[in-house]
Every structure is written in structure tokens, then in C-alpha cells.
Amino acid sequence: MIQLFVPVYDSPTPIEVEIPQGATYKNAVDILAANKLIRDRFVFTALGKISGVDRRMRAGYYNFWSRISPFDVFQQLRKGKIIEYEVTIVEGDSLLEISEKLQEKKFVTADAFNMTVKDKELLSALGIDAPTVEGYLFPETYKLPKGTHAADIIKLMVGKLRASYTDEIKSEVAKSGWSENAILTLASIIEKEAESDEERPIISAVYRNRLRMGMPLQADPTAIYGVKSSKVRILSSDLRNNTPYNTYVIKGLPPGPIASPGMKSIEAALHPAKVPYIYFVSRGNGSHIFTTSYAEHNEAIRQVRAMSEQPAKEEETAHHDQAQADKADTHR
């Protein structure tokens, strides 16, 4: 029995061992013995039965360091101390950013992730009626075991999103007449446009007002979705991108979200402010000027110009042409 506490591995280099999914405790004992991390299979098997580890062993990758004894190996198995990596998804991350974070931790390749996020069988199994899982991957810090497959990561994140719905949110979605996909799509646009929590319901109202009036949403972030990173500057030429997501060239909501919205944006999508605004322009300090007519909007742009030498966001994107302004005035 004393041999149980005598080191079996004495090297400055750690040894990594995988206990695969579905492996039995006997399989694990065989794997550990093959890696010369245990001496007596009978003793190690008995320890597993006495402690109950043989019934609740955790699969995954284990790291064993220098001067480790068979008992230390057993303790790591008992505690389920597998190799895990933290991955933080923040509000506003798109699949592009999420893919990069998962690639950095060696969970996926770009090609494999891109195929998985639009896999029709996976989308159907998750009850997602959208082109991809964009917008359904909940912003959170996840501890992911090494070797976790892309599909399992996606299932975890989608599950976290839906577990975060309060009863009130579920009730509001049911009463709204909007689908989950439509709510998340609007919420994702709010997430990309709003910089302060106070303005989220107001921005929500702007887009809901436009939808009700039959106006194009003309949301700048949709113009570059799937074309280039949302972290780069949006140019006037981007507004002509012919994509199904660009709300400068399509009417209504895009076919799916453009990023992962946080709960505050989801709540704002469900609870727009009671305001008549249909335009807004950034002051460049995280806040916006909201207006109800195109003339007022142009005046707001002039105010922003006067306040700063830097062009306002809406100026740079040359957003609303006069034809749309006339249409807005007709509906006002």
C-alpha cells in the first residue's frame, strides 16, 4: 500500500493524458497504467469502487506533474481536475470574434466553426429559425474543458441564453407576436448601436417606429455584417453592400441577429420607450440626439459638427437620402 504514495513520474515536463468521453473507470485505469502513472491496477480499481469515483469519473484531459504518486493521480481523478480554459464572450461579439477566441484556445479551426454555426441539423435540434447561431451564443465567461467540440460549445452557450430568460421575458415574447429570432435580431442591433443603458429603450423605439411606418431601418452595423469586422470604421461605400443583412438595401429586420446581445438589449427590444423618434445621431461621447423629423435630424448633425471637429457617425455613413426623408415626412 505504501507504494501508492511513492512517485511514479519524475520529469520536469508534465504529462498529459486523455480520458475520452464514454470511457469506463476500467478504461481509465488501463490508460493510466499505459502511461506508467500507476503501479497496481487492483489497488487503483479498489480505490475507485470504495470512493465511488468509478461511477462519477469525469472525462477530459488531465495534466500530471513531476514527483506525482499514484495516490496523487487518483486524487486528480476524484476531483475531476481536467484541463479547462476560460473563454469570455462579451455583449456585441459576433461569430467572427467568438471564432477568434475559440481558435486562440485551440478549440476550433475557423473552417470547422464556420461550418458548425450554420449546420442545419444543429440549428433544427436547437430550435433556431435563423441562418446561423449568431445572436444565440450568450455573453458569459465559460470554463471549457480542453477538447470540447464546436457543436457542444454552441449547445452550452445557447442553453445559457435560454436559461437566462426570466419568466417575464418569456411571457413578453409570447404576448409580443414576435419570434425569438426577431427579438434577438432587434436586440443585437440595439447592442451594436447603444453605448449607455439609458438609451437602449429609446433606440429600440426608433427602430420599432420605423418598422411600424414601413421605413428601412438603416442601421449602420447591419451594412458591414458578414463583410468586415464591426471594429473597423463604417464608410459610405459600405452602405451599398448587397447583403441580406444590410438594412439600407432591405426592408424590415435582417434574417437573423448580427451579434450576441446582452440581457439589457433583449429587455429593451421587448420594452421600447414610448417616444416618437425616428432618427438619432451620435454626439461622439456615448450619447445620441434623438429627433422626429429629417429637418430636425439635419440640425442635430450640424450641432454635432459644431461641437467637434470629428465627423459624427451618421455623417460618415451618409445614412438617409432625401427620398427616404420624404417618405418619413409622409408617414409622420
The secondary structure of 36-87 as a DSSP string is: T--S-HHHHHHHHHHHTHHHHPPPEEEEE-TTB-HHHHHHHHHHT---EEEE
Dump pLDDT digits (tens) for 283-296.
888 899 999 999 99
Instruction: Please state the length of the chain.
Output: 332
CA gap 257, 182 in Å, rounded = 8
Over range 191-202, report the average pLDDT: 96
CA gap 68, 87 in Å, rounded = 29
Q: What is the CATH code of the structural domain delimited by 85-163?
A: 3.30.1490
Segment among 12-26, 199-213, 309-323 with least mean pLDDT? 309-323
pLDDT at 84 over 50: yes
Can you give the pTM of this predicted structure? Answer: 0.86
pLDDT reported for residue 307 = 81
DSSP string, 147-166: T--HHHHHHHHHHHHHHT--
pLDDT at 170 over 80: yes
Burial of 88 per CB tally in 10 Å (0-12, 13-18, 19+): exposed
Over range 302-318, report the average pLDDT: 62
Q: In the chain, which segments carry CATH 3.30.1490.480?
A: 2-82
Contacts by 72-77 with C-beta closer than 8 Å and gap 24+?
73/8, 73/32, 73/37, 73/38, 74/44, 74/47, 74/48, 77/19, 77/28, 77/48, 77/53
% of the chain beyond a pLDDT of 70: 92
We find that the CATH architecture of domain 2-82 is: 2-Layer Sandwich (3.30)
Contact 219, 203 (CB under 8 A): no
pLDDT at 321 over 80: no
- Mean pLDDT across the chain, nearest whole number? 91
Segment among 7-16, 241-250, 318-327 with least mean pLDDT? 318-327
Cell of 289: 440626439
pLDDT reported for residue 281 = 93
pLDDT reported for residue 2 = 61
